[in-house]
Structure 1
Amino acid sequence: MTVPATPDDLWQQLLADWLPLWLGTDTIPQMVGAPLHRRGSVRGRVVGCHVGRRLRLRWTPPTLDHETEIDVALESETGGTAVRVHQDRLLGPAERQDQLLRWESRLRELTEALGAEQERLRQREAEGI
Structure 2
Amino acid sequence: MMTDLRFALRQLRKSPGFTLLAVITLTLGIGLNTAIFSLINDLFLRGLPFREPARVLHVFSHFKEQTVDFPLSAPRYIHFRDGQTVFDGFAAENGLGVTVTGLGDPFQVPLFKTTANYFDVLGLRAVQGRTFLPEE
TM-score by length of 2: 0.22
Bigger RCO of structures 1 and 2 (CA < 8 A, at least 6 apart): 1
The structure with the greater share of residues assigned to strand is 1
TM-score by length of 1: 0.23
The structure with the greater share of residues assigned to helix is 2
